[in-house]
Chain A
Amino acid sequence: MKNQWIEFISGKVTVKVSGRGIERFINVLIRNGLIVWNVKRHGTETITFTMRLQDALKIRRYARERECSITFLKRAGMPFLFKRLLKNSGFVGGAILFLLLIMFLSNVIWGIEIKGAKPATEYQIRKELDKMGVKIGKVQFFVDNVEGIQRKLTNNVGNLTWVGVELKGTTYHLQVVEKKEPEKPEQLAPQNLVAKKKAVIDSMYVETGQKMVDIHDHVEAGQLLVSGIIGKEGQTQQVAAVGEVWGETWYKSHVELPLTTKFFVFNGQEKQKFSLILGKLEIPIWGFGKPEFKEFELDKNMKKIHFLKWELPISIGNETLRAREETIRTYTEKEAENNALELAKDKIKSGLDEEAIIKDQKILHKEFKNGKVILDIHFKIIENIAVGQPIPKETTE
């Protein structure tokens, strides 16, 4: 006997045959390779048996030659189950829809918890998150990944030292550490103001303290500018000298700038690709074909799909191809010189206080060599050269 399950999969039919000469009919069937089983006699002129679905389709041909009538009684097996499934497709559709809905809802942000932040900071963080699109009810796929959120938050919210972002299921947990800015001491300790570096005094503004130098004086580094000891001889008093002493200082700078530079720029064209990733297998679902641009940079992103609290081994991949173009920038000698000068200024300024002003610059040396412009520049800069220096205790009386 054949395996029951194979028959079940291919489908089986119970057939009722009535008429005369049924035995001969069965002989014909089996000789023609139609497999028949469970043959039962019901009364004198009726027999029932089971056969495969594919054989049942042929049976009419043999029956026509004889005086037998055939009725199909019972249909069983996968093909019929499948048919019934189609008939009740509403239920199947509902079940699939339900699963999809749960899957969809598992990938929605359902909560944002912020811990360790003051209400004001929390408000700021929430506003920043809103801007990023991290909101309750949003789908996680369209939101930055955790590292991105973390980076953006630390960059954009000023008074955060560190923020840990963690995605637990459908809730974002944010652990916040705020910056504790030291409060400025109200009462400064007694101090002098001394020169930071060699300079010529340009202007002075002294709040408290005894002025020791004058405008146009040349001072060396460490020289006393404003003393914290005030009062007449013998009745001196120690205070914190406060003030600004603007001095002219000098810097030398050396810059080299090539006349031609090769670099890549994005021209704004981009192509998005989405794919379903199953382990190592990638199935593209959106964005087919090769991009119409040759040079591009690839940005890959992967998002895991969740089902309730579990991570499914399926993820959605998003590739962004950005077209880039090679550009060659060429300067004339004059342009190169100007740009090199700007570059030098920027370099100098980055090392100075924000209030410092470049008063004058002078090109000491200019050279064009190996497709480069080489400049040595002398800068005159006016900056605050005063720094506080506590008055040692021993010097008091």
Chain B
Amino acid sequence: MAKKWGLRVRNWMAQKMDLPQDVMMDLPRITMIGQIHIYIENHRGLITFTDKELRLLLKQGQLQIRGKSFVIKTILPEEILLEGKIDQVLYINENPGGTK
């Protein structure tokens, strides 16, 4: 009961107070600095990592990043900082029904 209450309050706050959606909806938050850095929060784990491709598991679907000479600068359970030359950032949805 209390949990639901909290959720409702948070939702209301997100809407009324212009708070970012990723906090509320468990969506990945991606920050890119030019082509050289990409910072992804709220991922659910590594799937593939080579120097040309990085695949991350998200809550819904996957995120594919392609480029050249990739190095994972930092990796934490929910965050990852990737360095290299980034060409593409791609969302892969295996079941399109799950996304908004």
**A interface vs B, CB < 8 Å?**
1, 22-24, 26-27, 30-31, 35-41, 44, 47, 49
Contact partners of A24 in chain B: CB under 8 A: 46
Given A23-B48, A31-B77, A41-B70, 12 new contacts (CB under 8 A) = A1-B74, A22-B49, A23-B47, A23-B49, A26-B49, A27-B45, A30-B77, A37-B72, A37-B73, A38-B73, A41-B51, A47-B49
Binding site secondary structure of chain B: strand
In-complex Cβ contact of B75 among A22, A26, A44 (8 A): A26
* CA gap between A37 and B79 in the complex, in Å: 12
Residues of B in contact (CB 8 Å), total 16
Contact partners of B76 in chain A: CB under 8 A: 30, 35
**B interface vs A, CB < 8 Å?**
45-51, 70-77, 81
Q: Are A38 and B71 in contact (CB under 8 A)?
A: yes
Smallest CB gap from B47: residue in A: A23
Smallest CB gap from B55: residue in A: A23
Contact partners of B51 in chain A: CB under 8 A: 40-41
Q: A23-B48, A27-B45 are in contact. Are A38 and B77 (CB under 8 A)?
A: no
Q: Are B81 and A1 in contact (CB under 8 A)?
A: yes
* CA gap between A69 and B50 in the complex, in Å: 18
* CA gap between A26 and B75 in the complex, in Å: 9
What would be 30 A-B contacts, judged by CB atoms less than 8 Å apart? A1-B74, A1-B81, A22-B49, A23-B46, A23-B49, A24-B46, A26-B46, A26-B75, A27-B46, A30-B75, A30-B77, A31-B45, A31-B77, A35-B76, A36-B72, A36-B75, A37-B72, A37-B75, A38-B71, A38-B72, A38-B73, A39-B49, A39-B72, A39-B75, A40-B72, A41-B49, A41-B50, A41-B51, A41-B70, A47-B49
Binding site secondary structure of chain A: mixed
* CA gap between A31 and B46 in the complex, in Å: 11
Contact partners of A26 in chain B: CB under 8 A: 46, 49, 75
Q: How far is the CB of B5 from chain A (nearest CB, A)?
A: 31
Smallest CB gap from B44: residue in A: A27
* CA gap between A37 and B56 in the complex, in Å: 16
Smallest CB gap from A37: residue in B: B74
Contact partners of B73 in chain A: CB under 8 A: 1, 37-38
